[in-house]
Structure 1
Amino acid sequence: MSPLTPSPDLRPYIDELERFADGQMTPEEQEAFELRLEQEDALAEAHATYEQLTADLRWAAGHNTLRQRLQSLDERMNERGDALARAQSLAKARQRRVALLSSLGAVVLVIAAAAAWYFTRPSPARPDRNWEAYYQPDPGPAVTTGLLHTRPLLSEALDQYQAGHYPAALHSLGRVSPTSVGADTLLYLRGLILLRQGQGNAAQLYLRRVGEQDSSSELARRARYHLGMAYWQARELTQARAELGTVAADSLNPYRASARQAIAAGVLQAE
C-alpha cells in the first residue's frame, strides 16, 4: 500500500477482523469470512491494513520489551559491578587488617621476647657477700693415737668438732684443763667452735684474747683471721675489713691468700 493512498476505514469491519484474527469464529463463519475476503475488495483492504497494524503493534511491543530487558540487564550488570567492587574493597580492607594485625603480632612477639630476655637474663655476676664463701676453716690438730693417750678429753673435743657436733665439742672442751693444753689453745678452739656454730659475737670474745702474751705467734696469726670472719658473720664489716686487711698484709699468716681474696672482692664494703 502506497503511503499516499488513504488508509481504508476499518471501523465497519473491526469486530469481524478481531474475531477472525483471534480465532473466535466458528468454522462456518470463518469459511464465509474467507470467501468474502476473496470477493469484497474493501474487506480485503481492511483486512490487510488490520494485519499490518497488528504486526506493527507487535513489533513495537516486542521492541519495547527488548529495550526494557536490555535496560534491566544493564542495571543488573551495574549492580553486579558495584557488588564486585564492594567485595574487592572489603577484601583489600581485610588484607590490610590482617597485615596490620600480623605486624602488631610481630611487634608484640618482639616486645614479649625482649621482656622475657630482660627478666630472665642472668644477672651480672656479683661477688658472694656471704662470709662462708671466703672462709677457710681450720680442722684443728689431728687426733692421733698419741694424743688420745696423753690428752683424751682434748681428743674427744677435737673429734666431735671435726664431726660437726659443736655443742658436744664445747662441752668436752670445758672439761679440758688449761694447764695440760695451754690457755691460748683452749681460747682458740672455743672461738673456732662458736664461729662454726654461727655465734660470731661469742666467738670474738675468745679469739681476741688469743696472743695477748705473744701476738706474733702462729696461733695468734690464725686467731686474727678467724676473728675477722667472726666480725663478718656478725655483720660488723668495718672491724672485719680491718682484721682481714691485717691478715692480708702479713706474709707469715697461713690465711693470707683467703683474706686477700675477700678484700679484693670488695664484699666487705658497707651496703
Structure 2
Amino acid sequence: MDLRPHFDELERFADGQMTPAEQEAFELRLEQDEALAEAHAAYEQLTADLRWAAGHNTLRLRLQALDERMNERGDALARTERLTQQRQRRWMTLGVLGAVLLVAMGVGAWYFSRPGPTRPARSWEAYYQPDPGPAVTTGLLHSRPLLSEALDQYQSGHYPAALHSLGRVSAASVGADTLLYLRGLMLLRQGQGTAAQLYLRRVSEDTVAGELARRARYHLGMAHWQANELAPARAALLAVAADSLNLYRTSAQRAIAAGVLEGK
C-alpha cells in the first residue's frame, strides 16, 4: 500500500489537526472511498508498528507518568472531600436556623402563586444516559496503556484529547468495533452528533457485535437527536425501547413517553 498520496491528510487526521468540518468530510470519505480506507488502515498499522519499535522504555515512561497523574488526582479528590465536609458542617448549622423561615416562605409563595403545568424538557441531554466506558483499572493500565489514557481523558471530560489518544490505539489490541464505538461516544459528548453517527451506525449494524451493537443503537438515536434530526432519532429510540435486552431500554422509553421527539 502506497501511503504517499494520502499521507499528509492521514497524519493531520490522526493528530487531530483538522477542523471539525474537515474531519467530518474526511470521515465520510473513509466510508465511501475504498482506497482511502485501505490507506487509513495501513497507516494505523504502520503507526502501531512504530510505537512498538520505540521500545519498552517509552512504554515504561508513559506508564510511570500515568501512574503519577492518577496519584495526583487521588490526592486532589481527597483534599476536595475534606474541604467539602468542612463546608457541610458549617452550612448545617446555618441550615437548621433557616429551615423554619424557608418553610414559611415556601408555603406563602405556593399559596399566592401556584405554578402552572410544567412542560417536559426537550433537550437530548435531559434524557441522555451516558456510557462512561470501561473502568481504568491497574490491570488495564499495564496491559493497554494507550487505551487507558484515552478512557481517563474521556471520563474526565477532555474529549478532544481523548479522541487524539484513541487515534493511537491499535485495533489489533482492542477490537475494531470497540474503537468505533468509543470514538462515536467521544464525538457525541463533544457535541459532534453528525460525525458520531458515522461510527455508531457501523457498530449498530454489525450482527456480530451483540451487546455493543445494542449500546450503539441507543447512542446513535441520541446523536440524531443532538443533530436535531428528530425523525431518525425517534425511530432509533423506538427500536431500543422495544428491545428487552438493551441496557438503555428504560432511558429510551422515557424519551419516547415524553413526546419530545414528535416535532417542535
TM-score (structure 1 length as normaliser): 0.55
How far the C-alpha of 1:213 sits from its partner, in A, is 3.5
How far the C-alpha of 1:214 sits from its partner, in A, is 1.9
Separation in 2 of the partners of 1:131 and 1:240? 10
Relative distance call for 1:245 and 1:211 in structure 2 (3 A) is: closer
1:8-64 residue CA offsets vs partner (Å, 9 max, x unmatched):
xxxxxxxxxxxxxxxxxxxxxxxxxxxxxxxxxxxxxxxxxxxxxxxxxxxxxxxxx
* Aligned partner of residue 138 in structure 1, secondary structure: coil
Separation in 2 of the partners of 1:260 and 1:214? 23
How far the C-alpha of 1:212 sits from its partner, in A, is 3.8
The partner residue of 2:224 within 205, 227, 231 is 231
Structure 2 equivalent of residue 67 of structure 1: none
- Tell me if the contact between 1:184 and 1:211 (Cα under 8 Å) persists in the aligned partners: no
1:80-120 residue CA offsets vs partner (Å, 9 max, x unmatched):
xxxxxxxxxxxxxxxxxxxxxxxxxxxxxxxxxxxxxxxx8
How far the C-alpha of 1:270 sits from its partner, in A, is 1.1
Separation in 1 of the partners of 2:114 and 2:232? 36
Alignment partner of 1:159 is 2:167: no
How far the C-alpha of 1:124 sits from its partner, in A, is 2.2
- Tell me if the contact between 1:166 and 1:193 (Cα under 8 Å) persists in the aligned partners: yes
Alignment partner of 1:139 is 2:139: no
Which amino acid is the alignment partner of residue 261 of structure 1?
R
- Tell me if the contact between 2:203 and 2:209 (Cα under 8 Å) persists in the aligned partners: no
Separation in 1 of the partners of 2:181 and 2:115? 42
Note the residue ranges of structure 1 that are not aligned, 5 or more in a row.
Answer: 1-119
The partner residue of 2:237 within 236, 240, 244 is 244
Structure 2 equivalent of residue 200 of structure 1: 193
**Aligned Cα root-mean-square deviation (Å):** 1.6
How far the C-alpha of 1:121 sits from its partner, in A, is 6.3
Within 5 Å, give how 1:56-135 maps onto structure 2.
Answer: 122-135=115-128
1:150-192 residue CA offsets vs partner (Å, 9 max, x unmatched):
1000000000000000000000000000111001100000000
Which amino acid is the alignment partner of residue 160 of structure 1?
Q
* Aligned partner of residue 210 in structure 1, secondary structure: helix
How far the C-alpha of 1:219 sits from its partner, in A, is 0.3
Separation in 1 of the partners of 2:114 and 2:198? 45
Structure 2 equivalent of residue 258 of structure 1: 251
Moved over 4 A (4+): none
* Aligned partner of residue 202 in structure 2, secondary structure: coil
- Higher normalized contact order (CA 8 Å, seq sep 6+, divided by chain length): 2
How far the C-alpha of 1:254 sits from its partner, in A, is 0.2
Q: Percent identity?
A: 80
- Tell me if the contact between 2:206 and 2:213 (Cα under 8 Å) persists in the aligned partners: no
1:58-84 residue CA offsets vs partner (Å, 9 max, x unmatched):
xxxxxxxxxxxxxxxxxxxxxxxxxxx
TM-score (structure 2 length as normaliser): 0.56
* Aligned partner of residue 225 in structure 1, secondary structure: helix
- Tell me if the contact between 1:135 and 1:258 (Cα under 8 Å) persists in the aligned partners: yes
How far the C-alpha of 1:123 sits from its partner, in A, is 4.1
Structure 1 equivalent of residue 46 of structure 2: none
Structure 1 equivalent of residue 172 of structure 2: 179
- Tell me if the contact between 2:204 and 2:217 (Cα under 8 Å) persists in the aligned partners: no
How many equivalent pairs are there? 153
Relative distance call for 1:124 and 1:211 in structure 2 (3 A) is: closer
